[in-house]
Every structure is written in C-alpha cells, then in structure tokens.
Amino acid sequence: MVGGETSGPEVALELRGITKRFGDLVANDAIDLDVRRGEIHALLGENGAGKTTVMRVAYGLSHADSGEIRVNGTLVHVRSPRDAIAAGIGMVTQHFSLVRPMTVAENLALGRSGGLRLDLNAARRTAADASMRFGIRVDPDAIVGNLSVGEQQRVEILKALARDCRILILDEPTAVLVPQEVDALFATLQRLVADGLGVVFISHKLGEVRAISQRVSVLRRGRMMGTVPGTTAEGELARLMIGRPIAGDKRAAPTHDDAGGGVGDPRGVLSIRDLRVAGSHGTAVIDGLSLDVRAGEILGIAGVSGNGQTELVDLLSGMRMPLGGSVVVDGVDVTGLGPAEMVEAGVGRIPEDRHASLIPELSVAYNLVMERLDEFRRAGRLDERAINEHADRLIERFAIKAHRGDRVAALSGGNIQKVLLARVLSRDPKVLVVSQPTRGLDVGATEYVRSQLVARRTAGAAVLLVSEDLDELLDLADRLVVIYEGRIVGEMAVGDADPERLGLLMAGRGAAGGAAA
C-alpha cells in the first residue's frame, strides 16, 4: 500500500480520470471507478456507453489519453495485457482468445511465458489444480473447440485465475450463455468473490446486474453517472442508464388478449411438417419437427441453443436445404427453396447473425434495397434517386440513427438490427422468422425492435420467434413451443408457462404435458 490517496485498503482496482477519445468522439470522459476486493461490481450502460472501452484501458488493450490506474493503491502503468496480468488484472473479453484445436491444459500453458521447454504434464497438473482450487469444472484434456461456449468461458476465467489475477473483468459474460449456464457462472463468481477476488461485470441487462452485483456503476455516453448499491430498483438503474424509465410491461397485456386470432384455421400461415434438416456434420439436427404459426400470432420457440434453432431459421431463410418434410407458406409449398424465392413467397427473415445477413461494407441505402435490386433499376442502371428516397423513408420510419450513405459496418448493433428490420418489414411479409432479435442490443433498441414485432403480429403476420431470452419469449409470444434435439417436445399458451416446467422441457427432462401434434 504505497499510494497516499486510496479510498481504503479494501479497494483492489482504482481508476481515476480515465479519458479516451477516438477522433472527435469522447468514449470515456474522466471515468472514476473503485472495485473492492470480494465484490462483484457491475458496470452498466447501453451499447456504446463506454463500458468495454474503459475496461480495455484497464487491461492494456487500449491506451487512455489521460488518467491513472492503481492496483491495491499502487500506481501502475498498464501498457499491454502483459502489464495488466503482472498487476493482477485479468479480463475475459467477448471474443475468447483460446486456441481451439488445443486442449484446455495447453491453452492454460500458453498464457504463461518463460522457458524454452513446454512441460505438458506439468501444464495438465496445473490445469487440474486450478480447476480444483477454484471449483471450476473443466477437463484439462478436452479440446477447446469441442467445448460449449459456456465451457470455453470457464476456460477463459480459469486462464485468468491461473495467472493469479485478483481483479477479474468479464465483458458481457452472459451474452453467449443459456440460462442454466448463467446460473452456473453466477455461482462460480459468488464463490470466487468469497475468496477475495474483485470482479467487474460488464452488462446492459438490468435483471442480472441486480441479481449478482454488490455495487453498480452506471455509464452513459462515456460519462460516469454514479455508483449505487446492487439492490437499487430497476427503474432507477434504467433511469441512470438511459435517462428515462423503461416502458415496463405494457406490451405484455395485449399480447395475451387476442391470442386466438387465427384459431379458425387449423393449419397456420406457416406450416411445417416432419421436417428433417442436416447440420454441419451431415447428421439430422432437425428430425421430425412439425409446427404451425397462425396469422396474427407470435409463436415463441424456447430451447437451449444447439437444439436445431439455427438450422430451422437457416432453412426458413432459404440458406439450408431440408433432408425431408415440407414447409408451406400461405398455401404455397416452399420446401427447399432458396433465399430469393423465400422472400418472394412472403417470408421476412431476421436471423441471429445480422452481420452475415447484410453487406456490412456497403451503405445503408444499398443494403435496404439489396433484396429487390430489379425494382430500383432505370434504363439498365441503378436508380440512385429512388434508392436514396427509399432509404430516407425507411430511416425515418424505423428511427435508424444513420445517414443513408453510411456503411452498415459503422453502425451500432441496434441500428444494424433496425436496418435489417426495415428491409424486411418494408415488404410486408406474411411470415416473419426472427431469431435472437434483441441479443446485444441496448434497452432502447430492444424495446423498439420488440414493439415492431408486436405491431407486425397485430397487423396479421405470422411471427416465428426464436430466442434464448425466456423473458423475451414470455413478453412477446402468444404461444410457446420448446425445441429439444430437433423436435418440438412441448407446447403451451404463454399464460400457462411457468419457468420451472419450461426449464425442464428445455433440458429434455419433461415429457410431462402437451407434446406437439
């Protein structure tokens, strides 16, 4: 404890006046932050608020224009992650830095410098020791590429801990996890902080921030809005984060009222029968799936990721061919059709990977017309005026914060999703296939996207909603089905859904109750 001006001996990491500019944009404006030993300290803020930026500075991944960093009261100069690790700071970024073809032990050994010789047995022992010591269960001999995302995240955490980090920064760790894995992560973190670790937990989800953290620091547009106890009410946190309270549950009410909208028609606008789809390895990942989505309803598909959701959405997007079964849209058989024909048949597609659904290097305006270029041709050439007018119209209608000439890659996640949404909804699709529509979006954008989906349903579209966010499904869907190993294993009205039964079905343990027709 050398420094004179620490806020107390329990402070493990101290940031003072961190300022980081990118060109004209001030990403961090004189950020102060204290992280104590033995606490989980949430860093809350919308996308682009500067949460990740300030933590990247603390971990040496980028350099502040001004400000200082103290660890246990001692001023440290963090020029690179190497310095940060030496000072006891560890970070798990959103994109893991693991070598996928190597084993867990080898990955842990990679993080340690020194020596010409690599003693793999020692590495394996170290990995097993660390796994035991920190209560984080991973098999040292497992190939990282074969692990689930949640397990890979555990390896990343273990890697940081094995380097004796005393402050662990987690950048949106739950974004990639299914609910069960989130619970496991939280349990792990609780155990670690009990041992005196300080954890910085970056998130924009109010619920989990309140569930896990002792204190919450809120960033808005690069400024620190304050640090409050983790017990602070959601409305108050939301107000700090976005400057206004969120709309609350108003959406949920109408959702359940007209659930019977299309009941008269036994087969839905979207009707899938006995579908079989091969996964990347050629085996059937979807095996005998049947479902119907009626006009004016949102059918939610719940399930742990990897049970065929991606393949189902790919197939309905025209990006994957079925092995068997049939898909009918509004009476027209679209089985095995490609993307253009699917769009033509009235399917609007919003898959989970929005970057891969657009051309990020092209402008917003071009992306908005990419599905229908032939309608924007005049005398053989692109009708730039019509393209621009079309873009301006949609930018205004969908509140996209961008200029029509901006590259899509330059937009925030929320605005990228709005571009995709605008492209899809501007064609009035009869069927809307949506996957993880709000993943990674900030509160404002999430709310907007959800309201658009609900508006579509009200306008009579059949909406198929795939989400790993159970709250989202419960908020938006009229009816839920649970997918497990490529089949529908349960169905319920949203009113009847309780989290426990859903959880069991998703885990493949609940044949109890209404299996799908």
- How far is Cα 272 from Cα 291, in angstroms, rounded to an integer? 5
Binding map of other proteins across residues 406-425, x = CB under 8 A, - = no contact: xx-xxxx-------------
> Which of 147, 202, 387, 470 is close enough to bind other proteins by CB under 8 A?
387
SS (HEC) of 446-471: HHHHHHHHHHHHHCCCEEEEECCCHH
| Minimum distance, C-beta of residue 193 to other proteins, in the bound complex (Å) | 28
Sequence-ordered strand ranges (E) for 38-83: 40-44, 66-71, 74-76
| Minimum distance, C-beta of residue 362 to other proteins, in the bound complex (Å) | 6
| Minimum distance, C-beta of residue 389 to other proteins, in the bound complex (Å) | 10
> Which of 31, 44, 45, 52 is close enough to bind other proteins by CB under 8 A?
52
The region, left, alpha or beta by phi > 0 then psi within -120 to 50, assigned to residue 25 is beta
> Which of 82, 100, 385, 401 is close enough to bind other proteins by CB under 8 A?
385
> Which of 141, 384, 428, 471 is close enough to bind other proteins by CB under 8 A?
384
Of 207-215, 225-233, 372-380, 453-461, the segment contacting other proteins by CB under 8 A is: 372-380
- CB of 234 within 8 A of CB of 207? yes
Tell me the number of residues near other proteins by CB under 8 A.
Answer: 51
Write the CB contacts of 194 (distance below 8 Å, at least 6 apart in sequence).
38
Burial class (CB in 10 A: 0-12, 13-18, 19+), 423: buried
> Which of 244, 377, 397, 509 is close enough to bind other proteins by CB under 8 A?
377
- How far is Cα 504 from Cα 508, in angstroms, rounded to an integer? 6
Site for other proteins contains 428 (CB under 8 A) = no
What is each CA distance from 491 to 164, 307, 516, in whole angstroms? 48, 16, 6
Of 114-122, 139-147, 222-230, 375-383, the segment contacting other proteins by CB under 8 A is: 375-383
- CB of 464 within 8 A of CB of 431? yes
User: Which of the residues 53 through 82 are near other proteins (CB under 8 A)?
Assistant: 53, 61-62
Of 37-45, 304-312, 384-392, 495-503, the segment contacting other proteins by CB under 8 A is: 384-392
SS (HEC) of 213-279: CCEEEEEECCEEEEEEECCCCHHHHHHHHHCCCCCCCCCHHHHHHCCCCCCCCCCCCEEEEEEEEEC
Site for other proteins contains 6 (CB under 8 A) = no
Closest to other proteins by CB, 122 vs 321, is 321
Site for other proteins contains 448 (CB under 8 A) = no
Site for other proteins contains 512 (CB under 8 A) = no
Of 17-25, 150-158, 430-438, 478-486, the segment contacting other proteins by CB under 8 A is: 17-25
- How far is Cα 305 from Cα 315, in angstroms, rounded to an integer? 16
Closest to other proteins by CB, 203 vs 255, is 203
DSSP string, 306-366: TSSHHHHHHHHTTSS-EEEEEEEETTEE-TT--HHHHHHTTEEEE-S-SGGGS-TTSBHHH
Q: Which residue has the tokens 């940031």?
A: 15
Tokens of 462: 């059949």
> Which of 118, 233, 373, 459 is close enough to bind other proteins by CB under 8 A?
373
Counting every residue written for the chain, the total comes to 517
| Minimum distance, C-beta of residue 185 to other proteins, in the bound complex (Å) | 23
Closest to other proteins by CB, 107 vs 357, is 357
Closest to other proteins by CB, 6 vs 412, is 412
| Minimum distance, C-beta of residue 220 to other proteins, in the bound complex (Å) | 17
Reported as type and span, the H/E element at residue 361 is none
Of 107-115, 121-129, 325-333, 371-379, the segment contacting other proteins by CB under 8 A is: 371-379
User: Which of the residues 304 through 363 are near other proteins (CB under 8 A)?
Assistant: 317-319, 338-340, 343, 349, 351, 355-363
Closest to other proteins by CB, 8 vs 282, is 282
Residue 27, CB half-sphere, CA atoms under 13 Å: how many?
19
- Degrees to nearest 5, angle at CA 246 with 244 and 250: 140
Q: Which residues bind other proteins (CB under 8 A)?
A: 22-23, 25, 27, 48, 52-53, 61-62, 317-319, 338-340, 343, 349, 351, 355-363, 365-366, 370-371, 373-374, 376-377, 380-385, 387-388, 404-407, 409-412
